[in-house]
Amino acid sequence: MAKTREQSTKAAPVQLSGGNPQIAKGDRNAPVQAYIAAMPGWKRGLGERLDALIVRNVPDVRKAVRWNSPFYGIEGQGWFVTFHVLTHYVKVTFFSGMSLRPVPPGGTVKSKNARWIDIREGDAFDEAQMADWVKQAAALPGWIP
């Protein structure tokens, strides 16, 4: 039986390089939840935990999907954190990471202020540290593209 046009548009999201879900740019919670639902394997559970942690620690958070990644920010202040699926890990990036204490471990000279943490399957997830970084980051001026 042939699929109708409506059924075809509800197909699973395309997985880009490294399994990153291709989700259309959009504001609010729905596109972020679509991105998380499309995260492959163990990464979906991590995405759910990160989203819940951010909402719990920053109740007035603004959500959106940009550049095939969920972004979290404060209205009028910019984006403070994003995460992105890669082949073997999920990269959590804090745009004002150099201002966080302790400074998240990932970064390069070219990234200037941004710092990140790569979370791999089986890594211990330090929820208390992540919550502390999220609260600190939300209180700082964010990235405005």
Query: Does residue 5 have a pLDDT over 50?
Result: no
The predicted pLDDT at position 58 comes to 97
CB 92 within 8 A of CB 116: yes
The predicted pLDDT at position 117 comes to 94
Query: Does residue 22 have a pLDDT over 70?
Result: yes
pTM: 0.86
Q: To the nearest whole number, what is the mean pLDDT of the chain?
A: 88
Q: How far apart are CA 3 and CA 52, in angstroms?
A: 36
User: What domains are there in the chain, each with its CATH number?
Assistant: 15-138 (3.90.1150.200)
For residue 119, how many other CB atoms are within 10 A of its CB?
A: 21
Least confident of 13-17, 75-79, 116-120, 122-126: 13-17
The amino acid at 79: W
The predicted pLDDT at position 1 comes to 46
CB 115 within 8 A of CB 104: yes
Mean per-residue pLDDT for 23-43? 93
